Amino acid sequence: MDKKSVLEQDLKNALRARDDVRKRTIRMALAAIKLAEVERHGALDDNAILGLLQKEVKTRNETIADAEKASRPDLVDSAKAELEVLEGYLPQPITGDELEALARQAIAESGATSVKEVGQVMKLLMPRLQGRADGKAASEKVRGLLATD
């Protein structure tokens, strides 16, 4: 079953269970997916849906940071609850050792030897990390490895 079908089924279950947080969060995710499908003029694959879910997670993290600065514990609690629901649909995050191994493999495949070639390495690396690691963390790891080589 693809991610969108899982989300739709979970929305039905949340409606039956009267779980407001889960219902609201899944509806927001499905709305983002629908918008992306309309813009793209076609259905999204699971990798694209994972990317959208990651974007929603990032948004919640930014909301939490902003709400904490504004001393709004109600918004912090709400965003954390939504974040917990969204993270349930993402694969387990990659460990530092796994990220380094994949980065080294991508560097070897691309033949990169300097920091100027980070873009080539990232083109190979990012599809392998889809949904499991942040692009910023991957880029920093690749830069670090290329700088030391």
- Give the pLDDT confidence score for residue 10 in this predicted structure: 94
Residue 10, token pair as written in the block: 């979970």
Q: Do domains 3-87 and 96-148 have the same CATH topology?
A: no
Cβ pair 58, 135 in contact under 8 A: no
Q: What is the DSSP letter of 134?
A: -
Above pLDDT 70, what percent of the chain? 99
For residue 149, the model assigns a pLDDT of 61
Cα gap 23→37, rounded to integer Å: 21
> What one-character DSSP code corresponds to residue 90?
S
pLDDT of amino acid 38: 94
At the top level of CATH, which class does the domain 3-87 belong to?
mainly alpha
pLDDT at 116: 81
Looking at residue 141, its pLDDT comes to 86
Residues of the chain with pLDDT under 70: 131, 149
Q: What is the pLDDT of residue 91?
A: 81
CATH number for region 96-148: 1.10.10.410
The pLDDT value recorded for residue 20 is 93
Q: Would you say the pTM of this structure is higher than 0.85?
A: no
Residue 131 confidence (pLDDT): 65
Helical ranges in the chain per DSSP H: 3-17, 20-40, 46-69, 73-87, 96-110, 118-129, 135-148
Domain boundaries, the chain: 3-87, 96-148
What is the model's pLDDT at position 14? 93
Start-to-end Cα distance in the chain: 43
